[in-house]
Amino acid sequence: MVEQKSFKEETYDVVVVGAGHAGCEAALACARLGLETIIFTVSVDSIAMMPCNPNIGGSSKGHLVREIDALGGEMGVNIDHTFIQSKMLNKSKGPAVHSLRAQADKTDYSMRMRQTLQNQEHLTIRQAEVSEILTEDTDCGMKIVGVKTVSGFTYHARAVVLCTGTYLGARCLTGEMITHTGPNGLSAATHLTQSLVDHGIEMYRFKTGTPARIDGRSIDYSKMEEQFGDERVVPFSFTTDPDTVQKEQVSCWLTYTNEKTHEIIRNNLDRSPIYAGIIEGTGPRYCPSIEDKVVKFADRDRHQIFIEPEGIHTNEMYVGGMSSSLPEDVQHEMYRTLPGLENAVIVRNAYAIEYDCINPMQLKPSLEFKKISGLFSGGQFNGSSGYEEAACQGLVAGINAANKLLGKEPFVMDRSESYIGVLIDDLVTKGTREPYRMMTSRAEYRLLLRQDNADLRLTKRGYEVGLISKDRYDWVCKKEQLIEQEIARVKEIKVGARESVTKVLEKYGSIPLNTGASLADLIRRPELDYDKLAELDPERPDLPEEVREQVNILIKYDGYISRQMKQVEQFKKLEKKKLPVPFDYDDVSNLRTEARQKLNQLQPESIGQASRISGVSPADVSVLLIYLESYYQNNKDQKHDA
């Protein structure tokens, strides 16, 4: 229980700073693992707020949400309860790039997450601004001991997770107008940065932005293309029964910018804080403002703009693809050039926001600071962008804060296990100089890291962590077994060149058989799949949809999947070669100077991680491999292959 020392101090196991998407996952993970946890927010009303786009998921981000769910996080369940439209993206492409995206009712989303936090045992919510981190020096470096709030109240804790999002030193810009506020006009956190700098933490300044919100009554939808949700909704969470999420959905709308829009933007670029040089922060290339798009894609005569509802309790519409920091009067003119928005009434202006974050290369793969034991961080504070990117880091940081206090090994996923593993490895190994956004192209083993198999990949890891129930774990084991048995069975079934077979094949435009084939061979044909061939397979057992889906994918793409698995094997070999930490790379005389500096600075945990550091060439990696061999021969007591 919470120990109340005096009016001015309290003691918890874990302090979480910030209650956005990262903070919520971190706090829930720690509390669910039984640790006394306190979460700080500048405003309880802003818990799990969605200050930008009104959706969860999307290309590759949908993967993150499913992985969060498989590990026992909350985001997937929360969106399943509060979505108002849902769509599986990229269905015309391979299963690796299918991605789920749901429009959220922003208020419901935030409200439900707040209730989840409030109902969580071992979790305390406190509205206060944290202004300092408190540390102690030990024999092996600095150690976190707690935080202090602006009011001077001290909270002792053995682990602290920083998830300050875009609040640190925030300022918002709309043309010439600058306010020192966080997102949505909430107050910024103005003290903590200095405390972090005083502790030797390297800070960056990033920028992001959001478009205007428009009064739905002022929009002429007849001039736009209606975008519907899927007929059959697939839930995010593996625990959600699909039948419970089939409901009436709202539509989104597609319209386009035009030459007139671009002309207004070009004529007013000098009033944009970015192009006028007022903004110091680096913005995301992959989520550019409309100004950036017009400048960078000068030859394009139009850009897609999606009009999306902010929820069912409001008539505000989000103008997706049109974030901006141009002045209010220009915005007014600019939005009204779009078909359907001729009479648009702006409810909230678009703005750019600048904030302090860290160079994430100061973190271990566990998201603990290398220099301050017990201090963890997640989310935009680590240089990422997006709700889903934030949430998954919050979850991993929270799990690791808990593991540290519980005396367990750090929880780390590698690049072949999950998108989350890719994201964190990218951040801590390569760093980032702009808000980092997840993308399918970043995951080199994406054929194995599909959104459909996140449960098969990660439920067991979540169970080991302690966030997944025994029932859920048992079901995944059972599911694995069912899939395996069914694949084996289907491979054995022979289909002859009979007339009844030809009939079925012709129905799907498939060439008739000349000679016998296995059912698996037929499943591999592009125009056929497992379900379509049911009538040729009278002995087929009654299997749940999620099992049938896996059987189909694993048979259809087995060649590709097994080739990717070989690549993973090679990858794992280098990951398993552990490097000593800390280690003085000046002892390896044959490394190039740049590589030596980077290695000394970054202290990678494996040869694999070292190979991904920019400035470390393959030749340097070869040198390390040879060196490591003799190093471990001389230090036989140390672990070699972990």
Partner 1 sequence: MNKDTICAIATAMSSSGIGIIRISGSEAIAIADKIYHSPNKDKKLQSCESHTIHYGYIYDGDQKIDEVMVLLMKAPHSYTAEDSVEIDCHGGVFVMQKILETVVKAGARLAEPGEFTKRAFLNGRIDLSQAESVMDIIDSQNQFALKSSMDQLSGKLSESIRLYRENILHEMAFIESALDDPEHFSLDDYPDELSKKMQDVIRGLQELLATADNGRILKEGIQTVILGKPNVGKSSLLNALLGYERAIVTDIAGTTRDVLQEQIHLNGLTLNLMDTAGIRKTDDIVEKIGVDKAMKEADDADLIIYVIDSSGEMDQEDHDLLSYLKDKKAIVILNKTDLEQKIQIKDVEEITNLPVIAISAKENTGIDLLEKQVHHLFIAGEITYNDQVYVTNVRHKSLIAEAISSLNLVLKSIEDQMPEDFYSVDLMNAYKQLGLIIGESVEDDLVEEIFSKFCMGK
Contact positions toward partner 1, by CB under 8 A? 59-60, 90, 92-94, 96-97, 286, 297, 300, 303-304, 439-441, 444, 446-447, 526, 557, 559-560, 563-564, 567, 570, 573-574, 577, 588-590, 592, 607, 611, 618-619, 621-623, 625-627, 629-630
For the CA atoms of 265, 271, 277, 281, the dihedral, rounded to the nearest 10 degrees, stands at -70
**Residue 333 vs 444, nearer CB to partner 1:** 444
To partner 1, the closest distance from the beta carbon of 208 in angstroms equals: 18
> How far is C-alpha 139 from the geometric centre of its chain's CA atoms?
36
Torsional class of 544: left (φ above 0), alpha (ψ -120 to 50), beta (otherwise): beta
Indicate the helix (H) or strand (E) that contains 130.
Answer: strand 130-138
To partner 1, the closest distance from the beta carbon of 545 in angstroms equals: 22
The answer to whether 18 is annotated as binding is yes
The answer to whether 191 is annotated as binding is no
**Residue 473 vs 627, nearer CB to partner 1:** 627
To partner 1, the closest distance from the beta carbon of 530 in angstroms equals: 17
The answer to whether 52 is annotated as binding is no
The answer to whether 421 is annotated as binding is no
To partner 1, the closest distance from the beta carbon of 574 in angstroms equals: 6
To partner 1, the closest distance from the beta carbon of 227 in angstroms equals: 14
Cα gap 168→181, rounded to integer Å: 10
**Residue 76 vs 608, nearer CB to partner 1:** 608
User: How many C-beta neighbours within 10 Å does residue 409 have?
Assistant: 10
Local structure of 552: helix, strand or coil: helix
Cα gap 120→309, rounded to integer Å: 30
- 23 is written with which tokens? 């903070």
Cα gap 495→498, rounded to integer Å: 8
The answer to whether 159 is annotated as binding is no
E strand residue ranges, 430-540:
494-495, 517-518
The answer to whether 498 is annotated as binding is no
The DSSP result for 340-405, as a single string, is T-TT--EEE--EEEEEEEE-GGGB-TTSBBSSEETEEE-GGGGTB-SHHHHHHHHHHHHHHHHHHH
The answer to whether 293 is annotated as binding is yes
**Residue 271 vs 572, nearer CB to partner 1:** 572
The answer to whether 377 is annotated as binding is no
The answer to whether 77 is annotated as binding is no
Torsional class of 57: left (φ above 0), alpha (ψ -120 to 50), beta (otherwise): left
**Residue 84 vs 420, nearer CB to partner 1:** 420
**Residue 474 vs 594, nearer CB to partner 1:** 594
To partner 1, the closest distance from the beta carbon of 490 in angstroms equals: 20
To partner 1, the closest distance from the beta carbon of 617 in angstroms equals: 8
Alpha-carbon separation of residue 60 from 67, 88, 98, 620 (angstroms): 11, 11, 8, 32
**Residue 96 vs 130, nearer CB to partner 1:** 96
Supply the Cα-derived Rg of the chain in whole angstroms. Answer: 26
Annotated binding site for FAD: 18-23
Annotated binding site: 18-23, 283-297
Annotated binding site for NAD(+): which residue ranges?
283-297
